[in-house]
Amino acid sequence: MKTVDLRNEQCSLSEVLKLAKSEAVLIRSTGGEDFLLEPADTFDKEVASLGSSERLTSFLAERSKESGDLPLSEVRQKRGI
**Residue 4: partners with Cβ closer than 8 Å, 6 or more residues away:** 11, 16, 19, 25, 26, 27, 28
Which pTM does this prediction carry?
0.55
Residue 52 confidence (pLDDT):
86
Per residue in 15-72, pLDDT (tens digit) is 999 999 999 999 999 999 999 999 888 888 888 888 888 998 899 898 888 877 888 9
How far is the CA of 40 from the CAs of 8, 13, 48, in angstroms? 27, 17, 10
User: Using an 8 Å Cβ cutoff, are 37 and 25 in contact?
Assistant: yes
What stretches of 1-81 show up as alpha helix (H) in DSSP?
Answer: 13-20, 42-51, 54-65, 72-79
**Residue 15: its pLDDT value, please?**
95
